[in-house]
Amino acid sequence: MSETPMTRAASATPPSVARRIKGLSDRAIAWIFVGPTIFLLLAINIFPLIWTVRLSFTDYKANRAGREIKNVGFRNYERILNDSDIWLNMQATAHFLFWTIFFQVLIGFTLAYLINKKFKGNDLWTTIIVLPMMLSPAVVGNFWKFLYQPQIGLFNYIVAFFTGKDPSSFEMLGSVDLAPWSIVIVDTWMWTPFVMLICLAGLRSIPDYIYEAAEIDRASKLRQFFTITIPMVLPFLMLAVLFRGIENFKMFDLVVQLTGGGPGSTTELTSINLKREAFEKWRTGYASAYAIILFVTVFGLASIYVKALNKVKER
Amino acid sequence: MAEVVLKGVSKSFGDTVGVADIDMIIPDGAFVVLLGPTGAGKTTTLRLISGLEKLDQGEVFIGGRRVNDETPAQRDVAMVFQQYSLYPHLSVRENLAFPLKSPILNTPEEEIIRKVEEVASVLQITHKLDNKATALSGGEMQRVSIGRALVREPQVYLMDEPLSSLDAKLRTDLRIELKRIQANLGATILYVTHDQIEAMTMATHVGVLDEGRLVQFGTPRDIYENPNSVYVASRLGQPRINILPGDLFGAAPKGAHQIGLRPEHVAQGEGRAAQVGRVEHLGDHTRLHLRLDGHDITTLADPHADYEAGAEIKIAPRDPLCFDATGNRIY
């Protein structure tokens, strides 16, 4: 008899195990293999989700375990949606999301377009540009804090050099007007390379002969850019936006390092606000409702977006 | 349409010679076929004329205008690429309309629609117009690619084996269609092919390339009947010409190292006895594969006669082409 993977597996099974699984159907054996994974998935993903939904209808506080839990119905949801402070957090998040994605796509695509032109040393440049992405957010947050320092910070000096202002006359992290932009700048600095890499993959997927055909068809460089480059990179670009959008919706580490949500609550993104409600104020039930609202928002937006993405890809 | 003139055109890619010192005049309204094996410089010649490749040396004139420094767009050429080169994200209709939407042409919308429909019907792809370009078979892509050239009225059409991936019937149809377009529009066409029937039926002129050099240029009939070397003689003719030692049939003609015998130039019933190897009945004629002193000879025979493998028949050369030791034609 020739040796197949099946017979090899059979002969490699120890007799004690073989005795135990004897008589089990293939289906039963499959369940034994998949079972632990399903169990873990249920235990650490699905159950907490369901439990959070349940808690969102109560006034449960996780630091007072003995206290009686009261059902409050939709009161948590009502309070959140009517809370003007939370709407401010939402606005801060929207501001952060919109501008980070805007700048990252704009700069990322431009860099990818330039790097894609074949020139000497473009591999080296790619590596240099990609570096920020490789750093830990804690490190990035920390050294940007120094760069933003009004007295000694390099950032202030560079801005001062170009605008003629006094470097210590403005505080990126301390001023209500500038702080939201300071986190946009850092996130853009750190994550533009990611968008660039995805765009670069898109640009490299366009074969040269298509441009040659367009050249013969007398399309100008500008028309080639808009009728060939952009449409063919678009699916990649949209994917980059999706990734960055989801990532930045739950932005926490960088901003906590930089501003801690301040000054006031101008850079208090929803994820930071949520963490405060849940683990500083210990309003677990309220925070659960908050989390569910955010989850539904992200999930809803992402689903619509993925549908649009698929449509673009089919085109 | 316009005349295309190449003067001393050369192009190398590193150490590889693309084309070397080509002089060629493609008359206005001519259908010129370039023949040659892979790597002979056929595609490079097209790319040099189109402007996709820059010349190392020489000059290219289109319609009397020196175009060396012009872009492909300025040269106003249409090209059918070997590898289709369709715009994958566009529909067939959009692919066909793409060249017409060039701002240089400024074609009105109804005109674009009319032309696209017209070309699509000629190429039998009307039912596929709204398909995405990537959702087509190889032959359909090839046709769209031809169509994209035909919607325009350029100075010259450059075609790189445009019919190679089509089935036999469609190839015959399009061969006739291309010939008709060339005749009606007076189009100048430069055409690369391996297919000898395409060359013989469509060409007004044939250019034979060998390692980047143009070794002969003339009418198909001229190339067939008066090749100037063994190389050229072997490029045209199906079955191929028989190249044999000069003295195989007695004393060699004066100076002849080799003689070339087209299959139809082997006279039967006289001369030396050859053995019949294989007999191929093709319907309208019969091909005989003979063997004489270790040389294979292919000839044609009466389709009604019966030949047995292993039988002997007498053959003699008729009007042989004579070549010297280097393969050049003497007479």
ipTM of predicted complex: 0.81
Residue A68 lies in a domain: no
- Are A17 and A148 members of one domain? no
On whether any CB of chain A is under 8 Å from the CB of B291, the answer is: no
A149 shares its domain with A290: yes
Are A218 and B104 an interchain contact pair (Cβ–Cβ within 8 Å)?
yes
Interface contacts (A, B; CB < 8 Å): 56
Residues on chain A touching B86 (C-beta within 8 angstroms): 213
Partners of A220 on chain B (C-beta within 8 Å) are: 73, 103
Minimum distance, in Å, between the CA of residue A311 and any CA atom of chain B: 12
Nearest chain B residue (CA) to A207: B85
By residue range, what is the domain housing residue A32? 13-55
Q: Which residue of B has its CA nearest to A210?
A: B85
User: Is the distance from CB of B116 to CB of B108 less than 8 angstroms?
Assistant: no
Residues of A in Cβ contact (< 8 Å) with B88:
210, 232
A23 and A109 housed in the same domain: no
Distance from CA of B105 to the nearest CA of A (A): 9
pLDDT of residue B106: 76
Across the interface, do A215 and B73 touch by the CB < 8 Å criterion?
Answer: yes
Q: Tell me if A1 is assigned to some domain.
A: no
CB contact under 8 A, A219 and B73: yes
Report the chain B residue with the minimal C-alpha distance to residue A235.
B89
CATH 3.40.50.300 in chain B, residue ranges = 4-234
Can you tell me the distance from the alpha carbon of A108 to that of A153, in angstroms, rounded to the nearest whole number? 26
Provide the pLDDT for residue B83: 82
| CATH number belonging to domain B243-323 | 2.40.50.140
Phi and psi at residue B248, in whole multiples of 5°?
-65, -35
Number of domains making up chain A: 2
A208 contacts on B by Cβ (under 8 Å): none
CB-closest option in A209, A228, A232 to B83: A209
- Does B133 reach chain A within 8 Å, measured CB to CB? no
User: Looking at beta carbons, which residues of chain A come within 8 Å of B78?
Assistant: 216
Contacts of B98 in chain A (CB under 8 A): 214, 217, 219, 227
Residue A67 lies in a domain: no
Is A69 domain-assigned? no
| CATH number where A208 lies | 1.10.3720.10
**pLDDT of res. B192:** 92
Query: Looking at residue A2, what is its pLDDT?
Result: 61
Q: Could you tell me if residue A177 is inside a domain?
A: yes
Is residue A60 situated within a structural domain? no
Tell me the fold of B4-234.
Answer: Rossmann fold (3.40.50)
**A216 vs B contacts (CB less than 8 Å):** 50, 52, 72-73, 77-79
Q: Answer yes or no: do A127 and A207 share one domain.
A: yes
Note the pLDDT of residue A140.
93
Tens-place pLDDT, residues A203-214? 999 998 899 999
Instruction: Based on the fold, state whether residues A51 and A172 are members of the same structural domain.
Output: no
Q: Does residue A102 share a domain with residue A35?
A: no
Contact A213 B148 (CB under 8 A): yes
Residues of chain B with CATH 2.40.50.140: 243-323
Q: Is the pTM of this model over 0.95?
A: no
* pLDDT tens, chain A, 315 aa long: 566 777 777 777 777 777 777 778 888 889 999 999 999 999 999 999 999 999 899 888 888 877 888 888 888 898 888 888 889 899 999 999 999 999 999 999 999 999 988 788 888 888 999 999 999 998 999 989 999 988 888 998 888 889 888 877 888 888 888 899 999 999 999 999 999 999 999 999 999 889 999 999 888 889 999 999 999 999 999 999 999 999 999 899 999 888 888 788 888 898 998 998 889 888 888 999 999 999 999 999 999 999 999 988 876
Residues A155 and A254 in one domain: yes
Q: What is the DSSP string of chain A?
A: ----HHHHHHHHS-HHHHHHHTT--HHHHHHHHHHHHHHHHIIIIIHHHHHHHHHTTB---TT-TTSPP-B-TTHHHHHHHH-HHHHHHHHHHHHHHHHHHHHHHHHHHHHHHHHHS--TTHHHHHHHHHHHHHS-HHHHHHHHHHHT-TTT-HHHHHHHHHH---GGG--TTTSTTTHHHHHHHHHHHHHHHHHHHHHHHHHHTS-HHHHHHHHHTT--HHHHIIIIIHHHHHHHHHHHHHHHHHHHHT--HHHHHHTTT-STTTT--HHHHHHHHHHTS--HHHHHHHHHHHHHHHHHHHHHHHHHHHHHHH-
Residue A71 lies in a domain: no
Whether residue A177 is found in the same domain as residue A46: no
Numbered residues of chain A with Cβ closer than 8 Å to any chain B Cβ: 209-210, 212-220, 223, 227-228, 231-232, 315
Mean pLDDT, chain A, rounded, equals 89
Query: What pLDDT does A153 receive?
Result: 86
Query: Which residues of chain B lie closer than 8 angstroms to A226, CB-CB?
Result: none
**Inter-chain CB proximity B99 and A232 less than 8 Å:** no
Per-residue confidence of chain B (331 residues) as pLDDT tens digits?
788 999 999 999 988 888 999 999 999 989 999 998 888 889 999 999 999 989 999 999 998 899 999 998 889 999 998 887 899 889 999 999 998 888 777 788 888 999 899 888 888 888 888 888 888 888 888 889 989 998 988 899 999 988 887 888 888 888 888 888 888 888 899 999 888 888 888 899 999 999 889 999 999 999 999 999 999 998 888 888 998 888 888 777 777 888 898 988 888 888 888 888 888 888 888 888 998 888 899 998 887 777 888 888 888 888 888 888 888 888 7
A33/A145 same-domain check: no
Interface membership of B103 toward A (CB under 8 Å): yes
Residue A63 lies in a domain: no
Partners of residue A209 in chain B, C-beta under 8 Å: 81, 83, 85
CB contact under 8 A, B52 and A212: yes
